[in-house]
Amino acid sequence: MERWIQDSGNAALMGCELPPAEVLAADQRITAWAKELRAAGLEGDMDQLRARAYLDLLLGKDSRPRHSATAGGDGGADPASPGNGPGAPGSSSGPGGAAPAGFAGLVTLTVPLATLAGLADRPGDLAGLGPVDPWLARDLARAAAANPKSTWCLTVTDNQGHAAAHGCARPEPKGHRKRAGPGPPEGGAGFTFTPASRDGPPGGHGSWRLRTPGGGPDLIVTVDPLTTDPCDHRHEAKGHDPGARLRHLSQVRHATCTSPICRRPAAQADFEHNTPYEAGGRTCLCNGGPEWLPGQRRYGKLGAMSTMTAATAVTSILRAVIYLRISKDKAADEHGVINQRGEAERLSASRGYQVGAVYCDNDISAFSGARRPGYEAMMPPRRAASST
């Protein structure tokens, strides 16, 4: 745990070296309580409410305005009282009730198909967290396969890592659910991906069958192109609202906000038209994408900036640092970190980043307690944390 005073006079609290799955669950729990605070009328944007929720959960407080008014106190529940505080299972009167103990995080896990099938050891990616070891990626994928509520998508990328096609999996019709053919190879991850019998809609990439571990039904994935040059408008929505499917596809095509001065995850942004809908613009992938509205209000859209030129905005996001780590290098040939570096450099190039430095910790576990020289060299000194 780290704490420091910020230049603004406020303080910061940070936890490091935490298990990724529990970090994701904790993050979702903070968001869930922040939404409760917003619904109760507490003022502030979502970032401010999440900060308040973070403290509520740590201190066993309840900052809801209506709760404060009825309780007659400072908005805090007595953490020592039975049933109060964030750890109270099943409680609905405080932050513990918004997301009881054991709350499972809702996350987006991206794993290369070859890694999922056990054919390669390329790293995966957890949205909002970053790269994860291929072994952890497979473990998380198996855990997701055990939950019938998990959803699966397939994205085809080009040589630069840009999304070129996408398909959302759906259960195979009940009449076709009898599994045929050999099962997954012994000792494998239990995932297979094979052509389905249907060709799919014209102009697409066909239909495929995804088999996941366990006894659940096979999943059918129909892969459609995401290219917009030219665009056949197959995903166009009829009105101003993009709808769930077009919004999802735009978030797949653009991992982050499309503003050049914002790197917020696309899932936190809204679909915005390039040419306004009222001016005849289509509600389609070729005329819109995810854009974070608070960022627009703060900085203005590109081309209408009054205090920042477009060149300054782009220059401010061109630097990147790459950190490589593999927990186990059984072959002692560094192939894992080499693959990671290639992936990271391709991602940096696709986003216009200039790689400033590369740090590496090969064959060092994050949970063993061993020193990680590369990580330590990458992290700024504590005295500079407030300006990082």
Domain for residue 367, yes or no?
Answer: yes
Domain for residue 232, yes or no?
Answer: no
Q: Which pLDDT belongs to residue 297?
A: 39
In terms of residue numbers, what domain contains 257?
Answer: 243-313
Q: Which residue in the block uniquely carries the two structure tokens 């059918």?
A: 220
Does this model's pTM top 0.75? My answer is: no
Domain end marker among 313, 333, 353: 313
Q: Which pLDDT belongs to residue 256?
A: 81
pLDDT per residue of the chain (388 residues) written in tens, 0 to 9? 888 887 777 888 888 888 877 887 888 899 899 999 999 999 988 888 999 999 999 999 999 986 554 444 444 444 333 334 444 433 445 665 544 444 445 667 888 888 888 888 888 887 766 788 888 888 888 888 888 888 888 888 887 778 888 889 898 877 655 544 444 444 445 888 888 866 655 666 788 888 888 777 888 888 888 877 788 888 899 999 998 889 889 888 887 888 777 777 787 788 888 888 888 899 998 988 888 764 443 333 433 333 333 333 333 446 788 999 988 888 888 888 888 888 888 887 777 677 878 889 998 887 777 888 888 888 764 333 333 3
- Say whether both 81 and 16 belong to one domain: yes
Q: Which residue in the block uniquely carries the two structure tokens 């290219």?
A: 227
> Which two structure tokens, joined as six digits, stand for 354?
């200039």
Q: Which pLDDT belongs to residue 203?
A: 61
Q: Which pLDDT belongs to residue 83?
A: 39
- Say whether both 115 and 211 belong to one domain: yes
Reduce the DSSP state of residue 365 to 3 states and report it.
Answer: coil
Q: Which of 130, 141, 119 is nearest to 325 (CA)?
A: 130
Q: Which pLDDT belongs to residue 215?
A: 75
Domain for residue 379, yes or no?
Answer: yes
- Say whether both 330 and 352 belong to one domain: yes
- Say whether both 332 and 307 belong to one domain: no
CATH number at residue 365: 3.40.50.1390
Parallel, antiparallel, or unpaired: how do β-strands 207-211 and 192-195 relate?
antiparallel
- Say whether both 217 and 125 belong to one domain: yes
Q: Which pLDDT belongs to residue 314?
A: 37
- Say whether both 307 and 337 belong to one domain: no
Check if the beta carbon of residue 246 is closer than 8 Å to that of residue 271.
yes
Domain for residue 184, yes or no?
Answer: no
Parallel, antiparallel, or unpaired: how do β-strands 130-132 and 124-126 relate?
antiparallel
pLDDT digit string (tens) for 194-232? 888 666 556 667 888 888 887 778 888 888 888 777 888
- Say whether both 119 and 89 belong to one domain: no
Which amino acid belongs to residue 98?
A
Domain for residue 231, yes or no?
Answer: no
Domain for residue 183, yes or no?
Answer: no
Radius of gyration of the chain (CA): 23
Residue 36 CA to its chain's centroid (Å): 22
- Say whether both 34 and 88 belong to one domain: yes
- Cα(300)–Cα(32) distance, rounded to whole angstroms? 30
Q: Which pLDDT belongs to residue 74?
A: 47
- Say whether both 91 and 31 belong to one domain: yes
Asked if the peptide bond before residue 171 counts as cis, ω within 30 degrees of 0, the response is no
- Say whether both 254 and 305 belong to one domain: yes
- Say whether both 64 and 20 belong to one domain: yes
Q: What angle do CA 355, 360, 364 make, to 5 degrees?
A: 155
pLDDT digit string (tens) for 289-310? 888 764 443 333 433 333 333 3
Domain for residue 103, yes or no?
Answer: no
Q: Which pLDDT belongs to residue 292?
A: 76
Domain for residue 236, yes or no?
Answer: no
Number of domains in the chain: 4
- Say whether both 77 and 116 belong to one domain: no
